[in-house]
Amino acid sequence: MRIETDCVGSLAIPDKALYGIHAARAQQNFPISSEKTDVALMKNIVLIKQAAAVVNQQAGTLDSQKSRAIIRACQDVLSGKYDDQFVVAAIQGGAGTSANMNVNEVVANVAGQYTAIVIHPNDDVNQSQSTNDVFPTAGKMTLLQLYPALRQQLQRLVHVLLDRAETFKDAVKVGRTQLQDAVPTTFGNSFHAYYSLFKRDLQRVNQAVDVLRNVNLGGTAIGTGLNASEFYREHIVDEVNDLTGVKLVVSEDKIDATQNCDALAAFSSSLKMLSLDLIKLSNDLRLLGSGPQAGLCELRLPAVQAGSSIMPGKVNPVIPEVVNQVAFQVIGYDTTVSLAVQAGQLELNAFEPVIFKDLIDGEAILTGALETLVTRCLEGIQVNAEYGKEQVEKSAISATVLAPVIGYERAMNLVKQAIRQKKSVKTLLKTQAIMSDEQIDYLFSTQHLINRPNDKRYVKVVN
């Protein structure tokens, strides 16, 4: 064991540990769960340290030998060789200071292996920086790096829904409002509505994620840039961009960017909206696929696993179910993010650790859920077209088209008679000689029922 000292006192640290007293105290203070700060976020902090070593050396505030040692250490840490030295909990007090200091200590101790000069975690590795600009920048970098995978899967969802809309454009079904029979429609219409819905989600998330590029790096403690050279403030973001390609932008008001987290709330909200829409789609899939004998049975979801340990042959809609659960989780994360964003006080929001924890996890699990939904369900989904057509033809909903022709009251009485006599409205209409068979056939044609007319014939209103 070795003894390290800070402003609180002294503490014994394992000899083999590359982290130091700050990370060790965090281990003692935050034994909330086994979940550590996301490794990708920690490595983005390392990337900022590497960029800072370059810029500080160029600014003349960091010895070139120390700079080289820190850069080499950062590269070693980024290789994954020392991932086990990132020991601080994901949920931590201190606005992320424990995570930042964990990285400072590891980089300093690794760098010390390459030079006889002492590398100090604060004075050297953390030079020109504060947790308050490093941690949120690293968190935003992580979200930006995760986003291409989410965008790709959301685009796949949009494309497959449009494809299903085209494939099933002529598959007639009963349209329902309040779960009651309403008017005829097609599965093509239904899937095109889903396509339009998720196309809007894609636009919303794209807009929200773009704002995350604005960072306060160079603002140090509260955005004023205290203890950072002018050269550093002007060049640090460019250096980070050169290292990572994430295309960060220096915020026009770094004081605002340090204390306010509305951009994170907006991104979280876009993920929540996507989740709400996934629930709508998943619930519809489960309902329309219910059965296969006593349910609606209008959709056939791909059978991907046995559904019961007691009921032979039962197959459950497990893909929509798991998507729902992911969506529930992300909506819960959004509540946490909302509370954390509004809880910031004065010049800093101290609750960014839980904000980034939930956003990073939410973005990742949504990506997985979208891929699963498309690959394991939507690409292989089928419609029960004959059954849907049969239900439309038997249902009294087709009488809706008669209201403009024979009047609402007369059409209603016809519907009641059809239900009572268990006959189709079309059959009754032909027996009552209200209009010609040609007119009846036109009114009850599939194209007319789904409001896709292919005939401009005028049907005279009967008084």
The residues carrying an active-site annotation are 308
Burial (0-12, 13-18, 19+ Cβ within 10 Å), 16:
exposed
Taking the C-alpha atoms of residue 56 and residue 230, their distance in angstroms, rounded to an integer, is 10
Helices (H), 213-259: 230-244, 254-259
DSSP-assigned beta bridge partners for residue 348:
345
Strands 214-215 and 382-383: unpaired
In DSSP notation, 81-127 reads TTGGG---BSS-SSTTHHHHHHHHHHHHHHHTTS-SSPPPIIIIITT
**What one-character DSSP code corresponds to residue 90?**
S
DSSP-assigned beta bridge partners for residue 180:
177
**Helix H or strand E segment including 48:** helix 39-59
DSSP-assigned beta bridge partners for residue 181:
176
Q: Checking phi first, is residue 128 left (phi over 0); if not, alpha (psi -120 to 50) or beta?
A: left
